[in-house]
């Protein structure tokens, strides 16, 4: 009897990290090679390698496309995928809710509204023009999170799975209409409604990749540092308190960290839905629910997934580019139903 219930896998070894890293690297190279102009693998590897070590890069069209268009894009997609996925994983643990994610809870929409308002109002930070948009997105992300959680708490003190999601959906719809309103009345039409609601990585640059990288190292580091606390929350908040976790402090830090990551991602690429919902689940299947392993695994799986989604978005109907959210939402909606069904059945 008991044998059948034991989990055989000693679930995570350095080898798993290595395999994930290799898969990520391969996906990144694939995404640089494939596109409206196909580029040879050897050209890609040479160009990236030489650029990395400051060696002269052979002049041809490929160089331009690789270094000015595809590489910054692939970097941004990788980092955003990792950031969204680790945020989702942390939220799912903290709230003990397998459906929690920036997009299902309405946090991404809130961040998008913050970004749009900052753009419309011309809000900038001295010396860092784009900073205003980013900070505003972060603040709105945190505000939305607090609002949604307080509303859900009013409805139902246990913060049940369904009430949070229900409020998240309504909140997203409400915010979307405000976003349309602000865009209609603003003079800035550089970014369309579809960018904010469906996301896109078209035209991203190295500065943005650097920003994402900084945010991910800082916030990802904080979240991984809080793995034991997230494990305690995932087992149960009351139990977490009993074993000595400082509940309020941990909650506040994790929610702020997630808001910062979401804010940065949304201000750069718009709302890319469902990455943080699906990928932590895949990671959990691979390495189990312990956040010490789950968070790093989520980083890798999120990056790989978003790279493939971006590849699909820009090649499926080439030369037309789909918003990336179209791809992630189609996959995400199906995954949502499956996860919801399994939650209702009691297993996860």
Partner 1 sequence: MLRGDHISVRYGAATVVDDLSFHLEEGQWLMLAGPNGAGKSTLIEAIAQGVPYTGSIRWEEQELRAMKPAQLAQRIGVLSQKNSVGYAYTVDEVVGLGRYAWKSGLFSGSDDQGKQQVEKALEMTGLTELRRASMLTLSGGETQRVFLAQVFSQNPQVLILDEPANHLDLKYQQHIFSLIQQWLREPGRAVLSVVHDLSLARRYGTHAILMDHGKTVSKGLIGEVMTPENLRQVYDMDVFAWMREMLSQWKE
Task: Enumerate binding residues for partner 1 (CB under 8 A).
Answer: 2, 5-8, 96, 98, 225, 228, 231-232, 234-236, 238-239, 241-247, 284, 288-290, 347-348
| Pick 98 or 199: Cβ nearer partner 1 | 98
- Comparison of 81 and 93: residue with beta carbon closer to partner 1: 93
What's the min distance (Å) between Cβ of 111 and partner 1? Answer: 27
Please, what is the minimum distance in Å from the beta carbon of residue 242 to partner 1? 4
For the bound state, the minimum distance from the C-beta of residue 235 to partner 1, rounded and expressed in Å, comes to: 5
Give the CA distances from residue 143 to residues 48, 95, 146, 290, in Å, rounded to whole numbers and listed in that order: 40, 17, 5, 29
Going from the C-alpha of 124 to that of each of 117, 128, 179, the distances in angstroms are 11, 7, 19
d(CA 199, CA 88) in angstroms, rounded, equals 17
d(CA 229, CA 77) in angstroms, rounded, equals: 29
Compute the least distance from the CB of residue 103 to partner 1, in Å: 21
Task: Give the three-class secondary structure for 100.
Answer: coil
Query: What gap in Å lies between CA 181 and CA 116, rounded to an integer?
Result: 11
Which whole-number Å values give the CA distances from 308 to 31, 84, 106, 286, 319, in the listed order? 8, 15, 24, 19, 17
Q: Measured from the CB atom, is 63 or 241 closer to partner 1?
A: 241
Rg (CA), the chain: 20
Nearer to partner 1, 32 or 286 (CB): 286
CA atoms within 13 A of residue 301's CA, in its CB half-sphere: 25
141 Cβ contact partners less than 8 Å away, ≥ 6 residues apart? 102, 107, 108, 110, 111, 114, 258, 259, 260, 262, 263, 266
* Closest distance to partner 1 from the beta carbon of 296 (Å): 16
Give the residue with the Cβ less far from partner 1, 8 or 189. 8
* Shortest Å distance, C-beta 234 to partner 1: 5
Return the H-helix or E-strand segment holding 38: none
Phi first, then psi: give them for residue 70, nearest 5 degrees.
-75, -40
Q: How far apart are the first and last CA of the chain?
A: 21
Cβ proximity to partner 1, 70 vs 284, nearer residue: 284
For residues 289 and 346, what is the distance between their CA atoms, to the nearest angstrom? Answer: 16
Q: Which residue has the tokens 């800035």?
A: 188
Nearer to partner 1, 46 or 343 (CB): 343
CB of 113 to partner 1, least distance (A): 31
User: Taking the complex as a whole, how short is the minimal distance between the CB of residue 137 and partner 1, in angstroms?
Assistant: 30
Q: Is 214 or 236 the residue whose CB approaches partner 1 more closely?
A: 236
């Amino acid at each position: 009897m008991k044998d059948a219930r034991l989990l055989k896998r000693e679930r995570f070894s350095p080898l798993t990290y290595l395999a994930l890293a290799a898969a990520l690297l391969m996906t990144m190279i694939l995404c640089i090679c494939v596109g409206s102009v196909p580029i040879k693998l050897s050209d890609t590897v040479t160009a990236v390698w030489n650029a990395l070590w400051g060696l002269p890069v052979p002049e041809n069209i490929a160089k331009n496309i690789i270094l000015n268009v595809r590489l910054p894009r692939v970097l941004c997609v990788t980092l955003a995928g990792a950031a969204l996925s680790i945020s989702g994983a942390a939220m799912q643990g903290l709230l003990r809710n397998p459906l929690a994610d920036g997009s299902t809870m309405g946090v991404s929409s809130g961040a998008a509204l913050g970004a749009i308002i900052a753009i419309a109002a011309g809000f900038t930070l001295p010396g860092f023009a784009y900073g205003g948009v980013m900070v505003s997105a972060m603040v709105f992300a945190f505000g939305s999170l607090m609002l949604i959680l307080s509303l859900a708490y009013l409805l139902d003190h246990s913060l049940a799975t369904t009430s949070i999601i229900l409020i998240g959906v309504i909140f997203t719809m409400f915010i979307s209409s405000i976003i349309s309103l602000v865009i209609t009345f603003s003079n800035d039409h550089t970014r369309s409604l579809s960018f904010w609601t469906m996301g896109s990585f078209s035209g991203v640059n190295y500065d943005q990749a650097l920003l994402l990288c900084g945010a991910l190292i800082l916030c990802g580091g904080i979240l991984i540092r809080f793995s034991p606390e997230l494990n305690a929350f995932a087992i149960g908040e009351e139990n977490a308190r009993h074993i000595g976790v400082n509940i309020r402090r941990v909650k506040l830090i994790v929610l702020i960290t997630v808001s910062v990551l979401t804010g940065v991602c949304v201000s750069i690429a718009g709302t890319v839905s469902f990455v943080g919902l699906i990928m932590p689940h895949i990671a959990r299947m691979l390495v189990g629910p312990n956040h010490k392993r789950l968070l790093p695994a989520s980083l890798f799986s999120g990056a790989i997934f978003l790279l493939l989604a971006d590849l699909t978005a820009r090649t499926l109907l080439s030369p037309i580019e789909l918003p990336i959210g179209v791809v992630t939402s189609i996959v995400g909606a199906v995954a949502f139903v499956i996860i919801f069904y399994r939650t209702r059945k009691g297993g996860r």
